[in-house]
Structure 1
Amino acid sequence: MSYEMISVTADARGVATLTLDRPEKHNALSGAMCQEIQAAIAELGSDPAIRVVVLTGAGKSFCAGGDLDWMRAQMTATPAERGAEARKLADMLFAINTCPKPVVGRLQGQAFGGGVGMACVCDVAIGVADAKFGLTETRLGLIPATIGPYVLARLGEAMARRVFMSARIFAAEEAAALGILSKAVAPDDLDAAVEAEVAPYLDCAPGAVAAAKALARRLGPPIDDAVIDMSVAALISQWEGDEAPEGVAAFFEKRRPSWAK
């Protein structure tokens, strides 16, 4: 399968690398990109030759969150249209979270919004020590809705509440302390740290790995259609209020929103 916004390669060991490949956009997510990622994950998950998936990005950023054109389109969309677009992100995250192959995140740069969500659906994520992170939605009058179930599952409520609502930017060291990253390493050490996570899986029975991952997911917080529908509905509700239109408009008009002090 060919893709326009991502690339997929695999080595002789069965280690696949899925690369977010819009470096000029800091790998910001659009609905179409989410669908490409979901399709690639489904293909890799069903391929018996693939043992591990490494998820990374091209360029300076791992993922800057939502694409600006995608966000702009939501300003005039109907609730149904907003729900359909939010569902594309939700379905992509669900696909990664339930992929039967282990997914190792290789965060070579910044992660904001949906990028944090993608790190949280990796089974383990390694990031560079100079990267910055943030759940920046509330600055725009929005909420981290569709990524929310995965952020809470990874961090737990107490840790998540430290960064979930404030939109503050935090360093890789704190991302590791919160549980978003398993570790933060120097850029020159990133590939070796990722390989250290990948290599043990190649000595494991692939069916047992898949069954163990499925069991872990069943034992963890439930993230099913009802939870996903709730998160989408919460985002639509926020768009229907006064704050999201004001916050997004202020962003594009390069001014401070009405609530900013």
Structure 2
Amino acid sequence: MPDPTSPAPLDVTDAEAAEINRISHPLLSDPAPDADDSLARIDSTPAGEVFITINRPARKNAFDAATIAALREAFETLHGADHVRVVFIRGAGGTFSAGADLGWMRDAATWSESDNREDAMGLARMLKALHDIPALTVAIVEGAAMGGGAGIVAACDMAVAVDGAKFAFSEVKLGLIPATIAPYVIEAVGPRTARALFLTGNTMDADYAAHVGLIDMVLPDAAAIDSFVTMLTDSLQANAPGAMGESKRLVNDLAGQEIDHRLMEDTARRIARARVSDEGREGVGAFLDKRKPRWA
């Protein structure tokens, strides 16, 4: 696995290089305000792996408005990257994110309610941009993921943590509430557990985070991260990228819906569309011909 802090490999075709350049140097029609590319580093490989690194190690990757804007821009860039299968998110310097930056919190205490509402919408938009990435999103947690950092973990499709990592939703200890991250935490752990985590504000270790469903796996140490990434990306190479995106959309659209005639028609329409798609025809044809599909 390439070091996520290093640039994408140069031994690629011209077409691959063009696609990698499009991701590594995003140009958005509506860039997020105050975005700073250096705060959210993006690296990618021709195999469809993308690594997004929260890059503020001197502050333990704590959030401020500029960091949130940079992450939102990075996440939005990936909405149109059809060839991407998996997006790994981690923090630089051995810490995922310490949560809110103290200086940012100090400033917010002097703002009006209206100013604070607009500021909070920045975090809400960033989390929604992460949630809506079509590819599989995976948080890799080292050190700590506190407050909004734990919210990013919850907004990902999967999460792993190195043994010794700590998590907390400690907003109540400051007289605050974990409002913008709440939809993703509730989706990840369920309402009952979310109430316990939010109301106690207690710090939990990686084993307990796995027990409640905030993360999926505990890695023994940081040295195991590379093998986990390799294992996961290798397993995804057999999957059609478009079908992965449609499968993710399927879950997002159907979660909580009543199973009625309307839903039955919707699911029938989706599988019919998949069967006649280029990927569907190629995949079934490859299976019948006993060969690998083009994307594998």
Whole-angstrom distance in 2 between the partners of 1:70 and 1:109: 22
Contact 1:30–1:66 (CA under 8 A) maintained in structure 2: yes
Q: Which residue of 2 aligns with 1:201?
A: 236
TM-score after normalising by structure 1: 0.81
Given that 1:9 and 1:16 are in contact with CA atoms closer than 8 Å, whether structure 2 keeps it comes out as yes
The structure 1 residue matched to 2:89, chosen from 55, 66, 77, is 55
Pair 1:36 & 2:67 matched: no
Is the 1:126–1:194 contact (alpha carbons within 8 Å) kept by the matching residues of 2?
Answer: no
Please tell me whether residue 72 in structure 1 is matched to residue 103 in structure 2: no
The CA distance in 2 between the partners of 1:206 and 1:184, in whole Å, is 27
Q: Which runs of 5+ in 1 are unaligned?
A: 223-261
**Structure-1 separation of matches of 2:233 and 2:138:** 7
Residues 29-71 of structure 1: CA distance to partner in whole angstroms, max 9, x if unpaired? 1122111111111112212342211111111310111111111
Q: Distance in 2 between matches of 1:95 and 1:153?
A: 16
Deviation, 1:142, is: 0.4
Alignment of 1:29-178 (within 5 A): 29-178=63-212
Letter paired with 1:94: K
SS at match of 1:207: helix
CA distance in 1 between counterparts of 2:220 and 2:70 reads 30
Q: Separation in 1 of the partners of 2:87 and 2:104?
A: 27
- 1:189 is aligned to 224
Percent identity of the aligned residues? 33
Match for 1:190: what amino acid? I
| Residue 13 to residue 133, structure 1, CA distance change in 2 (3 Å) | same
Q: Classify 1:194/1:160 alpha carbon distance in 2 versus 1 (closer, same or farther; 3 Å).
A: farther
Structure 2 equivalent of residue 258 of structure 1: none
Shift of 1:164: 1.5
Contact 1:52 1:102 in 2 (8 A): yes
Please say which structure displays the higher CA radius of gyration: 2
Tell me the CA shift for residue 193 of structure 1: 2.1
* In 1: Cα distance, 2:106 partner to 2:208 partner: 31
Following TM superposition, the consecutive aligned residue runs of length 4 or more in structure 1 with deviations greater than 6 angstroms are: none
Q: CA 1:221 to 1:95, structure 2 compared with 1: closer, same or farther past 3 Å?
A: farther
SS for the counterpart of 1:209 is helix
Q: Which residue of 1 aligns with 2:57?
A: 23
Q: Which amino acid counterpart does residue 188 of structure 2 have in structure 1?
A: R
8 Å contact 1:127–1:190 — kept in the other structure? no
Structure 2 spans left out of the alignment, 5+ residues? 1-24, 26-35, 258-296
Q: Contact conserved, 2:83 with 2:241, CA < 8 A, in 1?
A: no
Q: Is the 8 A contact 1:172 1:184 kept in 2?
A: yes
1:219 matched to which residue of 2? 254
Q: Tell me the SS of whatever aligns to 1:16.
A: strand
Task: Letter of the 1:210 partner, please give it.
Answer: G
> Which residue is 1:180 aligned to?
214
Residue 221 of structure 1: how far off its partner (Å) = 5.5
2:85·2:244 contact (CA, 8 Å) conserved in 1? no
- Tell me if the contact between 1:29 and 1:66 (Cα under 8 Å) persists in the aligned partners: yes
The separation in 2 between residues aligned to 1:77 and 1:178, in whole angstroms, is 36
SS in 2 for 1:85: helix
